[in-house]
Amino acid sequence: MSLVGFKAVHFSGIDAQDVEAPGFKGVEVRWLITKDDDATNFAMRLFKIKPGGRSAQHSHSWEHEVYVLEGQGLVFCEDDETRIEPGYVVFIPPDVPHYFRNVGDEPLRFLCLIPYKK
């Protein structure tokens, strides 16, 4: 029986999109679990940042929960940069300026989850 709502797929089967926003360079995102899956509380995204790439410094009213899968990076939050590598767990609170940078020779890959507003 096929169950509506259950999903188990390899991430590579989910389309990647380039992030075209100002200040983003070499950043690609896959929306792994979203409202389209009936996930009404939070979304799971997978980011890949190419060597030399980065996200723009920005802030917003929701938090990020991050787990680093591959690569070497820096996460900037308010006025500190912290080195991150595979196995790192990052929590970025709401309304705090932040960005991610790849500082290695391989892609930086991390999960980044965000809440849906109620």
Which residues contribute to the site for a second copy (CB under 8 A)? 1-12, 14, 32-33, 37-39, 41-42, 44, 63, 65, 67, 69, 75, 77-80, 82, 84-85, 87-93, 96, 111, 113, 115, 118
For a second copy, the closer of residues 56 and 111 by Cβ is 111
Alpha carbon of 5 to those of 37, 42, 43, 112: distances in Å? 6, 15, 14, 21
Q: Which is nearer to a second copy, 20 or 61 (CB)?
A: 61
Q: Residue 11 or residue 17: which is nearer to a second copy going by CB?
A: 11
Write down the least CB distance from residue 82 to a second copy, Å. Answer: 4
Cβ contacts of 2-6, under 8 Å, gap ≥ 24? 4/38, 5/37, 5/38
Closest by Cα among 44, 55, 90, 88 to 70: 88
Give the nearest distance from C-beta 69 to a second copy in angstroms: 8
**Least distance (Å) between residue 103 CB and a second copy:** 14
CB of 35 to a second copy, least distance (A): 11
**55 half-sphere exposure, CB direction, 13 A CA radius:** 23
Using DSSP's 3-state secondary structure scheme, residue 4 falls into coil
